[in-house]
Structure 1
């Protein structure tokens, strides 16, 4: 197989691995608060929002250290170990205890930082300037299939259920644990990219390293040096002008990630007007979010080169489309969903907003949330991979640091704020995030045309 063929195969395997792991985790996050409300046990007093806030807080705190871990273990082994920890998190819900639930939330926060830093490193290592857009789209589209399978099962299994029984909960989480473990083992199939240079040239000098250095086993002095260098690079990249600007956009993706992955499904499940279908609508909403993500990833990732070359569309129009999709979704949700839906107990809410709650409008909003999210994330993956192609692991660590700390903040306030305040925060953050992205994209376009380009 050619070097390019091996790299493309690695990206596909990477996408399938994440698809399985996050079929478990994203389904878990989508139903977590609803499941917890239904647990009938004096031994358990946890909160799904609090757990997710812990995960993303630890995630953010760990991100600046994870380039060192990836430098030590290599991308492939880092993703494998982290995937197994994701499986353990799902297994906690088979027989939940408060202490194990929150302890697992801390540990998976560290694993999340490692797996996403390793993913960014693996994606960049197997891409170049001409393939990063395509490969980002392939990865994103495969990843977002994770929203379909678990949520489809939830929709079918919970249809007509007003209360989630212990048996139903255990069945779901046993399946999610196994699915996540399968994805973890797929990471071991990722091959070292074939060098595109003659072997004699690669071996002739210690400086000419092949593309697989992220999976090379280092001797102690070497890995200590690489670990320190990776940490320093992450700190330096964080304070570059471009990363500070693009961090506003990244922060917005953390806020909206919280909303569509944890809050919106909980809101739909709490609307009593939907009757016995309310709980199953959580799964159906996840499916429509996944459809939006996949269509967006395929259109603006896989067709990125065509859109740019033949239609003259760069990254900015795609991000603007993402903002428009989200603003429309937020407005319709404001009209369709009662304001107290995110914070009511298991009994749900009998209130209505400005419209009689509509399942059709709810699913349209789910689709728009997924479409807009894919617009932002495919372009962020592309631009960060382009700007920091030589320092991909620390750059993507900074990416996830910013995204996860904003997600942690959002999960924290989701316990207390009514829906309309959460939507207002999203609209303001989305507007400024889009402006920041446009400014950075103009700078990268100027650089590609030969103008002076300074990231400091």
Structure 2
């Protein structure tokens, strides 16, 4: 197989691995607060868990490049994926202490996972293929929102209460799916030492044979880790990153809302009838459809002569419309409603 063909194969494997892992994790995040409210004597909160995950995720991004530089992207993704699987598996027999501990671990794992993903994408791309490879990876990864949520919609339709059997069946299945995604990363092939990578860069020195003694290797790894940390710190205070920080913070708020809060609100609305719990899955599925269509449409628009500003403004207008419709449709107490739900409605009858 040619180097270009091997690189494309690696991107496809990377995309499928993330698709399976996030089929499990994003479905878990979409339903976890609803599941928690169905548990007896369980005082933890899914909202608190998400704040821990993304707080640790943010802080860990400074050290994640050092971890990837030392361990390598392949093993970094595998071990980070195991942390995701452990978080999902915790819901099979949930405990407050294990829930919050897993939240901390998966936050750290997320930083390492996405840093390693960017490394693999860069290694297997050139200036001419990076757009294609990014789009291919994005499309495959976003299909994760379809399958798990479709299962939730079909399995929970007509359920007013999430039983222990329902919960265990869902989370055992999601754990297995996540683990399969982790092991797919071992199918990503490294380039032969004799052939250049598509980006004309080689893997970190620890992937090549060396005649240095163990002390020199250890020193080299420490140097790599330190260099990666210094570069991450410098990048974080650069002009470009400071300007991007506000829209990045906004996308973080929006991600948290649609991946954990909105589905909970829908499941709490008794005015949706007996299908309210199943509609959590339908909501996640349609968000996935929107992600895929939006990525394709905005990718095409981004190639026009007007530049990126019209694309960003169009996305902003669509967000205004989406959140305004949610404001009209969702009851004000839905995010914190008890397990039996809320009878209130907002400014229109929900359908």
TM-score, with length taken from structure 1: 0.72
Moved over 4 A (4+): none
Q: Which residue of 2 aligns with 1:405?
A: none
- Partner secondary structure for residue 342 of structure 1: helix
- Partner secondary structure for residue 103 of structure 1: helix
- Indicate which of 179, 184, 187 corresponds to 2:185: 187
Q: Which residue of 2 aligns with 1:29?
A: 29
- 1:5-404 equivalences under 5 Å are 5-40=5-40, 42=41, 44-193=42-191, 210-213=201-204, 216=207, 219-301=217-299, 303=300, 308=303, 311-312=304-305, 314-358=307-351
TM-superposed CA distance for 1:130, in Å, is: 2.4
TM-superposed CA distance for 1:3, in Å, is: 2.2
Q: Which residue of 2 aligns with 1:424?
A: none
- Partner secondary structure for residue 10 of structure 2: helix
1:337-375, CA deviations, whole angstroms, 9 ceiling, x for partnerless residues?
1111111111211111111112xxxxxxxxxxxxxxxxx
Instruction: State the aligned residue count.
Output: 342
Q: Which range moved further: 274-283 or 318-327?
A: 318-327
Q: Which residue of 2 aligns with 1:364?
A: none
Is the 2:123–2:201 Cα contact (8 Å) retained in structure 1?
no
Q: Which residue of 2 aligns with 1:380?
A: none
List gaps (5 residues or longer) in structure 2.
Answer: 211-216
TM-superposed CA distance for 1:45, in Å, is: 1.8
TM-superposed CA distance for 1:209, in Å, is: 7.6
Is the 1:137–1:300 Cα contact (8 Å) retained in structure 2?
no
- Partner secondary structure for residue 305 of structure 2: coil
Change (3 A) 1:214 1:153: farther
Alpha-carbon distance in 2 for matches of 1:352, 1:101: 32
1:237-267, CA deviations, whole angstroms, 9 ceiling, x for partnerless residues?
0111011111222111101000100011011
Alpha-carbon distance in 1 for matches of 2:189, 2:57: 27
Change (3 A) 1:209 1:12: closer
1:164-189, CA deviations, whole angstroms, 9 ceiling, x for partnerless residues?
00000000000000000000011111
Alpha-carbon distance in 2 for matches of 1:6, 1:26: 29
Is the 1:194–1:211 Cα contact (8 Å) retained in structure 2?
no
TM-superposed CA distance for 1:317, in Å, is: 2.9
Alpha-carbon distance in 2 for matches of 1:249, 1:214: 36
Alpha-carbon distance in 2 for matches of 1:214, 1:5: 24
Alpha-carbon distance in 2 for matches of 1:215, 1:221: 11
Change (3 A) 1:316 1:126: farther
Q: Which residue of 1 aligns with 2:214?
A: none
TM-superposed CA distance for 1:297, in Å, is: 2.5
- Partner secondary structure for residue 225 of structure 2: helix
Is the 1:70–1:214 Cα contact (8 Å) retained in structure 2?
no
Is the 1:59–1:110 Cα contact (8 Å) retained in structure 2?
yes
Alpha-carbon distance in 2 for matches of 1:313, 1:181: 44
Alpha-carbon distance in 2 for matches of 1:220, 1:297: 43
Alpha-carbon distance in 1 for matches of 2:263, 2:206: 39
1:72-124, CA deviations, whole angstroms, 9 ceiling, x for partnerless residues?
11111100111111111111000111111111111111111110111111112
1:120-162, CA deviations, whole angstroms, 9 ceiling, x for partnerless residues?
1111222232222222211111111111111011000000001
Alpha-carbon distance in 2 for matches of 1:181, 1:39: 26
Q: Which residue of 2 aligns with 1:2?
A: 2
Change (3 A) 1:4 1:209: closer
Alpha-carbon distance in 1 for matches of 2:128, 2:240: 21
Change (3 A) 1:246 1:214: farther
